[in-house]
Amino acid sequence: MTPPGVPPRVSATLLRHLAPLVVTAGLGAIATGLLPPAPLRALELRGATHFTRPPWKVTLRSYNSTVSQPSAEYYFTVVLAEDAGAALGELQFRQTRGVDTQFQFSPGRTRAFLGQPRREGPAVPVEAAFDQEERLVTVRFPEPVPPGSTLTVMLKPWANPSMSDTYLFQVMALPAGPNPSAVSLGFATLRIYDPDWR
């Protein structure tokens, strides 16, 4: 009997030849990634979560570099490898150098997005906190940032430091998962200058 929708002139022999082609096409869709990928599983060793290929550097950009400027924004950009092995759950920024250790950050105005400064992509939700005594800004991502992403975090001070100097921030990345193992991305450099008219 000819199946519904198949013209009567198509023989049963031809249908038998077509059937394997349909199965092969389905397997090909899986092999070429047309179907949704399996959920990412982070690497866990001895109860701790690790990156398998951690991010290794951070880039800092600021478009306002004069002392005490109130409109300052510090953009930290991190690239996650496709094979990072875990999503990004948190970034930490600690001031380790710079003569002014009293300038304040406004954690409520911290934001993050996918992409680069001035080429912003979708926003990424954040939860931020600032510890003045430790000179530490902590930025958590309630929706962890997946591998293969370029992420930029914007930290907002109330104003630039009041004294010119080279300021350094040590940046740490923590994977999303239980007992995350932090990795260092090195140091980001911020140069603050006196105004030209002095």
Tell me which residues of the chain have a pLDDT lower than 70: 1-46, 197-198
At residue 46, the pLDDT reads 65
Tokens read off for 149: 């992403």
CA separation for the pair 94, 138 (Å, rounded)? 9
At residue 18, the pLDDT reads 38
Q: Which residue has the tokens 């002392």?
A: 67
Q: Check the CA dihedral 145-131-107-96 and report its sign.
A: negative
Domains identified in the chain and CATH numbers: 43-192 (2.60.40.740)
CA separation for the pair 74, 170 (Å, rounded)? 14
pTM of the model as a whole: 0.77
CA separation for the pair 149, 114 (Å, rounded)? 7
CA separation for the pair 13, 33 (Å, rounded)? 32
At residue 47, the pLDDT reads 79
